[in-house]
Amino acid sequence: MLVVGLGNPGKEYANSRHNAGYIVLEQIAFYNNLSFSKSTKYKSDIAKILLLGQKIIFIKPLTYMNLSGTAVCLIKDFYKLQNYDIIVIHDDIDLPLGIVKLKVGGGSGGHNGLKSISSAIGDSYLRIKIGIGRPISEHLSVASYVLSDFLVEELTVLYSIARKIAENVELAVQKQFSEFMFKIKN
């Protein structure tokens, strides 16, 4: 099983809205006492755990968002994974801040990380969408908005959701999606 958190590497992006996937993955690692190590082979920060007898690989691609598919494809091919073995956690501007939705397959919704992954492996993988909301100002482009930092109060909401996902990630890995979503929402 592969769990991918989308984001951009580098301190300048650490708290950006586009890094919601990274932030959630870091909380999963913290909750499970994991640490990431850099893998040049996989172009990712990578952590592994044995969970309920199943090897789970967590990655934060270091390729920048628009080339995330490269890193995902490298790991998918090496471990001979199928798309149904892949979960991608990513930001979604079409969902209000803190709302989480699951979706299998479909389009990218304009998300360049998803476009890259779908181009590399197809689109039939599970997505955990993390709502970041839309820009309030009509003068702020979507690109500028997703690359801007979360406000402190927004980070509080995101970390609360990230903690719930971290506490229940084993349900998603076991494909118990209804129970996973119930735990996230309550």
Say if residue 42 carries a ligand binding annotation. Answer: no
Say if residue 15 carries a ligand binding annotation. Answer: no
CATH number for the domain that contains residue 80: 3.40.50.1470
Q: Is 147 in contact with 15 (CB distance < 8 Å)?
A: no
Which residue from 62, 12, 32 is spatially nearest to 162, judged by alpha carbons?
32
What is the extent of the structural domain holding 114? 2-185
Residues annotated as catalytic are 18
| Domain total in the chain | 1
pLDDT of 68 above 90? yes
pLDDT digits (tens, 9 = 90+) for 89-128: 999 999 999 999 999 998 898 899 999 999 999 999 999 9
Report the alpha-carbon angle 141-102-12, nearest 5.
40
Q: What mean pLDDT comes out for the span 36-62?
A: 95
> Distance between CA atoms of 183 and 186, rounded to whole angstroms?
5
Q: Whole-prediction pTM value?
A: 0.96
**Residue 171: CB partners within 8 Å, gap ≥ 6?**
177, 179, 180, 183
Say if residue 66 carries a ligand binding annotation. Answer: yes
Banded model confidence at residue 52, pLDDT cuts 50, 70, 90 = confident
